Amino acid sequence: MKELIANFASQIETSLSIADASPLKNTLKTPSLIVVSGLGGSGIGGTMVADWARPHASIPVLVNKDYSLPACVNENTLFIACSYSGNTEETLEAVEKARAAGASILCITSGGALEEFAQRHGYDLRKIPGGFPPRACLGYSLTQLVDVFVWLGCLPESYRSKMAEMVSVLRESASDFVREGQALATHLHEKMAVIYAEASNEGMAVRFRQQINENAKDLCWHHVVPEMNHNELVGWAGGSAKLAPVLLRSASDYPRNQTRMNIMKDIFAKHTPHTIELHAKGEHPVEQGLHLIHLTDWASYFLSEMRQVDVMEVKVIDYLKGTLAGS
DSSP for 246-308, please give it: EEEE-TTS-HHHHHHHHHHHHHHHTT-S--EEEEPPSSSHHHHHHHHHHHHHHHHHHHHHHHT
- Per the residue annotation, which of 25, 230, 270, 315 is the catalytic one? 230
Please give the average per-residue pLDDT across 279-305, as a whole number: 97
On the question of pLDDT at 213 being above 90, the answer is yes
Cα separation of 249 and 278, whole Å?
A: 6
Instruction: Output the DSSP codes for 161-224.
Output: HHHHHHHHHHHHTHHHHHHHHHHHHHHHTTSEEEEEEEGGGHHHHHHHHHHHHHHS----EEEE
On the question of pLDDT at 321 being above 90, the answer is no
Strand order in the sheet with 104-109: 61-64, 33-37, 77-83, 104-109, 124-127
Spell out the domain ranges in the chain: 2-167, 173-307
Mutual angle of helices 8-20 and 157-172, in 10-degree steps: 150
Q: Active site includes 230? A: yes
Cα separation of 298 and 311, whole Å?
A: 12
Cα separation of 96 and 11, whole Å?
A: 29
On the question of pLDDT at 324 being above 90, the answer is no
Instruction: Output the DSSP codes for 39-79.
Output: -HHHHHHHHHHHHHHTTT-SS-EEEE-SSS--TT-STTEEE
Q: Active site includes 315? A: no
Find the Cα–Cα–Cα–Cα dihedral 245, 222, 201, 261, rounded to 10°.
-40
Q: Which phi and psi angles does 111 have, rounded to 5°? A: 155, -140
Residue 162's CB: how many other CB atoms inside 10 A? 21
Question: Amino acid letter at 145?
Answer: L
* CATH number, span 173-307: 3.40.50.10490
**DSSP single-letter state for residue 231:** T
The band of 318, judged by pLDDT with boundaries at 50, 70 and 90, is: confident
Contact 13, 20 (CB under 8 A): no
Question: Amino acid letter at 103?
Answer: A
Q: Active site includes 214? A: yes
The angle formed by the CA atoms of residues 96, 97 and 101, to the nearest 5 degrees, is 120
Q: Which is nearest to 194 in space by CA: 307, 280, 276?
A: 276
Whole-number average pLDDT of the chain: 96
Cα separation of 41 and 130, whole Å?
A: 13
Contact 289, 167 (CB under 8 A): no
On the question of pLDDT at 322 being above 90, the answer is no
- HSE value, Cβ hemisphere, 13 Å, CA-based, for 106: 27
On the question of pLDDT at 275 being above 90, the answer is yes
The band of 282, judged by pLDDT with boundaries at 50, 70 and 90, is: very high
- Per the residue annotation, which of 187, 189, 191, 321 is the catalytic one? 321
2-167 and 173-307 have identical folds: yes
* pLDDT value of residue 116: 98
On the question of pLDDT at 320 being above 90, the answer is no
Contact 224, 209 (CB under 8 A): no
What is the pTM for the complete model shown?
A: 0.95
- Per the residue annotation, which of 115, 214, 222, 287 is the catalytic one? 214
Of all residues in the chain, the percent with pLDDT exceeding 90 is 95
* pLDDT value of residue 303: 98
Contact 278, 253 (CB under 8 A): no
The band of 326, judged by pLDDT with boundaries at 50, 70 and 90, is: confident
What CATH fold (topology level) applies to the domain 2-167? Rossmann fold (3.40.50)
| pLDDT tens, residue by residue, 85-109 | 999 999 999 999 999 999 999 999 9
